Structure 1
Amino acid sequence: MSENGNRAVAYLKPGAVEVRTIDHPTLELQDGPGVAAENVGRKCRHGVILKVLASNICGSDQHMVRGRTTAPEGLVLGHEITGEVLERGPDVEFIEVGDIVSVPFNIACGRCRNCKERKTGICLNVNPARPGAAYGYVDMGGWVGGQAQYAMVPYADFNLLRFPDRDQAREKLLDLTMLSDIFPTGFHGAVTAGAGVGSTVYVAGAGPVGLAAAASAQLLGAAVVIVGDLNAERLAQARSFGCETVDVSEGPVEDQIAQILGEPEVDAAVDAVGFEARAHGPDAEEAPATVLNSLMGITRAGGALGIPGLYVTDDPGGIDQDARTGTLKVRLGLGWAKSHRLSTGQCPVMRYHRGLMQAILHERVHIAKAVNATVIGLEDAPRGYAEFDQGASHKYVLDPHGTLAGVRPV
Structure 2
Amino acid sequence: MAGNGNRGVRYMGPGKVEVADLDYPDFELHDGPGVNPANVGRKVPHGVILRTVATNICGSDQHMVRGRTTAPEGLVLGHEITGEIVEKGPDVEFLEVGDLVSVPFNISCGRCRNCKEGKTGVCLNVNPDRPGSAYGYVDMGGWVGGQAESVLVPYADWNCLKFPDRDQAMAKIQDLAMLSDIFPTGYHGCYTAGVTTGSTVYIAGAGPVGLAAATSAFLLGAAVVIVGDLNQERLAQARSFGCETVDVTQGHPRDQIEQILGEPEVDAGVDAVGFEAHGQGAEAQQELPATVLNSLMEIVRAGGALGIPGLYVTGDPGAADDAAKVGSLSIRLGLGWAKSHAFFTGQCPVMRYNRQLMMAILHDRVQIAKNVGATVISLDDAPRGYAEFDQGAARKYILNPNNLIPT
TM-score normalised over the length of structure 1: 0.98
What is the alpha-carbon distance in structure 2 between the residues aligned to residue 102 and residue 235 of structure 1?
29
Shift in Å at residue 251 of structure 1? 2.7
Structure 2: which 5+ residue stretches go unaligned?
none
Query: What are the superposed Cα offsets for residues 156-212 of structure 1, whole Å, 9 maximum, x if unpaired?
Result: 000000000011111110000000000000000000111100000000000000000
Correspondence for 1:212: 212
Residue 321 of structure 1 pairs with residue 299 of structure 2: no
Matching residue's letter, 2:190 = A
Aligned partner of 1:344 in structure 2 is 345
SS of alignment partner, residue 83 of structure 1: strand
Report what 2:285 is aligned to: 284
Cα displacement string for residues 51-86 of structure 1 (whole angstroms, at most 9, x for unaligned residues): 000000000000000000000000000000000000
The SS at the match of 1:13 is coil
Show the counterpart of 1:42: 42
Alignment map for 1:118-197 (pairs within 5 Å): 118-197=118-197
**C-alpha distance in 2, partners of 1:230/1:62?**
18
Contact 2:2 2:26 in 1 (8 A): no
The answer for the alignment partner of 1:230 in structure 2 is 230
1:80-121 deviations in Å (ceiling 9; x for gaps) = 000000000000000110000000000000000000000000
Shift of 1:250: 1.3
Write the distance in 1 (CA, Å) between the matches of 2:180 and 2:3. 28
AA in 2 matched with 1:378:
L
Q: What is residue 394 of structure 1 aligned with on the other side?
A: 395
Q: Do 2:252 and 2:295's aligned partners in 1 also have CA atoms closer than 8 Å?
A: no
* Other-structure match for 1:245: 245
Cα distance between partner residues in 1 of 2:231 and 2:4: 41
Instruction: Structure 1: give runs of 5+ residues left out of the alignment.
Output: none
1:403 deviation in Å? Answer: 1.2
Q: 1:4 Cα deviation (Å)?
A: 6.2
- Give the corresponding residue for 1:66: 66
TM-score (norm 2): 0.99
Distance in 2 between residues matched to 1:271 and 1:110, nearest whole Å: 28
**Aligned equivalent of 2:336:** 335
Q: Secondary structure at the match of 2:343?
A: strand
1:249 aligned partner, one-letter code? T
List per-residue Cα deviations over 1:375-409 (Å, max 9, x = no partner).
00000000000000000000000000111132xxx
Secondary structure of the 1:269 match is strand
CA distance in 1, matches of 2:191, 2:268: 9
Quote the Cα distance in structure 2 between the aligned partners of 1:311 and 1:276. Answer: 9
CA offsets 1:228-285 (integer angstroms, 9 cap, x no match): 0010000000000000000011132111000000000000000000000011147531
Q: In structure 1, what is the equivalent of residue 406 of structure 2?
A: 405
Give the Cα separation in 2 of the matches to 1:74 and 1:12. 5
Give, as a single letter, the amino acid of the residue that structure 2 aligns with 1:393.
Answer: A
Contact 2:230 2:284 in 1 (8 A): no
Secondary structure at the aligned position of 2:279 is classed as coil
Q: Which residue is equivalent to 2:385?
A: 384
Partner SS, residue 169 of structure 2: helix
Partners of 2:374 and 2:405 in 1: CA distance: 11
Check the 8 A contact 2:108/2:133 in 1, yes or no: yes
Range that drifts further, 11-20 or 248-257: 248-257
Match of 2:366 in 1: 365
